[in-house]
Amino acid sequence: MASTTRTYPVRGMHCASCVRTIETALGKVPGVTKASVNLAAEKAQVTFDAAHTSPAQLAKATEDVGYHLDVTEPSAPDTPHAAPSHPAMGEPGHDHAAMLREMEGKDMQRKVWTGIVLSAVIVLGSYPQFFPFLPAALADGYVLLLLTLPVQFWVGSSFYAGLKLLVKHRQADMNTLVAVGTLAAFGYSLAATVAPQWFTSGGLKAELYYDTSAVIVTLVLLGRYLEAKARKKANEAIRKLLGLQVKIAHRVVDGREEDVPIDAVRVGDLLRVRPGEKIPVDGIVTEGASSLDESLVTGESLPVDKAVGDRVIGTTVNQTGTLVLKADKVGADTVLSQIVRMVEQAQASKAPIQRLADAVSAIFVPIVFGIAALTFLVWFFFGPQPALTFALLNTVGVLIIACPCAMGLATPIAVIVGTGKGAQMGVLIKDAAALEGARKLTAVAFDKTGTITTGKPVVTDVIGQRAEVLRIAGSAERHSEHPLARAIVVAAEADKIALAEPADFAAVTGAGVRATIDGASVLVGTRKLMRDNGVRDAGWDEKLAAFEAQGKTSILVARGGEVIGAVAIADTVKETSREAVARLKAMGLRVIMLTGDHERVAAHIAGQVGITEFRAQVLPEDKVGVIKELQAQGLRVGMAGDGINDAPALAQADVGFAMGTGTDVAMDAGDVTLMRGDLRALADAIDLSRATIRNAKQNLLWAFGYNVVLIPIAAGVLYPVNGMLLNPILAGAAMAFSSLSVVLNALRLKRWHPGRRQPRS
Ligand code: ADP
Ligand code: MG
């Protein structure tokens, strides 16, 4: 069975129980194996077997329960790799769903204003004793009925989907609560208007509650309208990225320049970029030199120098010189498109802590109906006179106050703002689970080379006959990818030494290389590599100690079974590493360095950046073991590495942080990609996760607390104690306020800066 996963925009959702309703409806469609709906992102992710069902059927099932699934245009492909074959998907710039949302917003705005004006008149007319100067006709039941009708049925039209749901599917959501609640108030008033004798003959006053129903409908809609506006703001971070794309590129063909729309640029095209212009697509510099502002992608504001052969990223800003670049990634393959897609996916993912809220809200609405029914019965049979009035008002109050929307929004909205904020800082978070995991870390381990150091080592000393040692070592290392090998080759070339072509080259991971040069067998690497191959290294340890004490990696060079010399290589520590380590420690994390290098080098580098705990001479494959060992001690371990041979350790860690080079989204290797190859970004990422989850928890607490406290008050439990009741109108206002306050609280994260508050919540 070939199943596909697609993400579609969903419209018309208002609360956590909407999420459940749609998930259930989609789940029932034959061929669907998984459906996951995100309220804040307004997306549904559906896994289905295309042989058994079609997107149209999915749309129909959703329509049936009162929502709209836009299947004409999946908003995001579900694996980054699937992108190129679906040009329409994830194609930045065009957002059909956004356009529809906008139209809906306009419609909502009209309804809200109509509701406000009519409700104001209805309230004035409902209290003639306070407003004696108004014409008496306004207080007439029939006039009030006429004014209320459009509010109840046009302004409030979106709520009736909830009734359809109740009747057709025996399910209920927030719409059901509002529809039933306001209809109860409206129906009661209608009866009191057309047949007051029913009430007066029973000794009751024929009271009117048109104001209650009209004001509640208006308030709830107003709350939704404001909330939708705020939610849009939460999504802004990612939309902003899309808006920054270049529209026109200057293509160079046969020495002539022509302006072409960005969509027409193909891989291999030569493009000219002048100072002040943005780089149109990802590519490699073929002419010129300049410095670029890459802050959009890396979060780092210092300009980066670029020359022939360097990679440049689309949408970053060319500052000083004119460049010609050869396009190598266009359309959906560019780094920017990948970032946008990844952030969208992260935003649509569900945080583990949201599961509780989802589970609660799933059973919430039926329970609320139970409580409402109980409220009615208790007040009607045991309450004071007029029993029917009290029973009615309190029941309406319970139904109105109980909306679980704030609960459904609590964590997704925080995740959206948090991941968007992360993208702006050059911290790409894979999903909400990674965000939550990062908060819980108690230790971080990192690789030395390329993580703490720049990973651009330079040969500083050669021991033995310089030219010969460099020639042998350089020839053996020619085909090695290791940064140390590159340093040796560069040093040999600088000395204008002609290198030989090695025969039987083999890299020994974490130890060095083996090769045959001019018929003699050559080894370049650690002392252990020598001993393992029967080469005597007596005396060398002392000779190398002095270099190693300065933090220089020292490598032996052997030919024909004998050590002929050594090379000392220094790798500069990144300026920012020390500050980052200090910050991580201040955040209460245990910091451990892992390296394949010698003990003495490790000690020196660790000392330079303020790390007290390190493991040296760890083979790449043993890094996994060290992570496991730390985990066995009960630590939650984050691992930061450059991903080259750290992938297994990154995967083993509770959260793996891949140090990006800024040019590719190394998401496969880790849970978080730090686009800025700078350890401060690691501290930022952990800090951000703490702030985001703290924010989500505040939201959850607020949302739950509000319902837990106000439902009993609305039911009237305090009435026997102090006569307190919750007016249904106040209930409507409180409900509108609760989800709005959750969204506003999440928006506070936008102004958050790393390092401002340290404690773990
Ligand atoms: P790290 O943990 O610092 O990234 P590696 O695990 O890649 O380092 O390598 C560990 C040690 O093995 C290096 O410090 C070096 O002594 C030796 N080594 C690895 N690869 C090579 C190579 N190509 N040439 C010489 N020495 C090497
Ligand atoms: Mg390494």
Confidence (pLDDT) at 669: 65
Per-residue pLDDT of 423-473, as tens digits, reads 888 898 988 889 999 999 999 999 888 789 887 889 999 999 999 999 999
Q: Please state, as a whole number, how many other Cβ atoms lie within 10 Å of the Cβ of residue 656.
A: 27
- Does 595 sit in the ligand 1 pocket, CB within 6 Å? yes
Of 63-72, 85-94, 309-318, 745-754, which range is least confident?
A: 85-94
Looking at residue 96, its pLDDT comes to 58
Residues 6+ apart with CB under 8 A from 694: 761
Rounded to the nearest angstrom, the distance between the alpha carbon of 650 and the centre of ligand 1 is 19
Q: Quick check: CB of 455 below 6 Å from ligand 1?
A: no
Say if residue 340 is exposed, middle or buried (CB neighbours under 10 Å; 0-12, 13-18, 19+).
Answer: buried
Question: What does the pLDDT average to over 468-484?
Answer: 92
pLDDT tens digits, residue range 304-351?
899 999 889 888 889 888 999 999 988 888 888 888 877 777 777 777
Contact 39, 11 (CB under 8 A): no
Q: How far apart are CA 161 and CA 65, in angstroms?
A: 7
Residue-wise pLDDT tens digits, 644-671:
667 788 889 999 998 876 445 555 667 8
Ligand closest to 619 (CA) is 1
| Cβ–Cβ < 8 Å for 122, 218 | no
pLDDT band (50, 70, 90) for residue 204: low
> CB of 646 closer than 6 A to ligand 1?
no
What is the pTM assigned to this prediction?
0.76
Best substitution site from 488, 526, 659 to test ligand 1's pocket, by max atoms within 8 Å of Cβ?
A: 526
Active site residues: 447
The protein residues having their C-beta less than 5 angstroms from ligand 2 (an ion) are 449
CA 738 to ligand 2 center in whole angstroms: 50
- Give the number of other Cβ atoms within 10 Å of residue 104's Cβ: 15
Verify whether ligand 1 is closer than 6 Å to residue 118 (CB atom): no
Instruction: Say which DSSP state 322 is in.
Output: -
* Ligand 1 contacts CB of residue 448 (under 6 A): yes
Measuring from atom 17 of ligand 1, which residue has the nearest CA?
Answer: 511
Q: Tell me which of 447, 462, 478, 484 to substitute to probe ligand 1's pocket, judged by most ligand atoms within 8 Å of the beta carbon.
A: 484
Which CA distances in Å does 414 have to 329, 409, 674, 689? 33, 8, 20, 10
For the chain, the distance separating the N- and C-terminal CA atoms, rounded to the nearest angstrom, is: 45
* Residue 388 confidence (pLDDT): 82
| pLDDT given for residue 398 in this prediction | 86
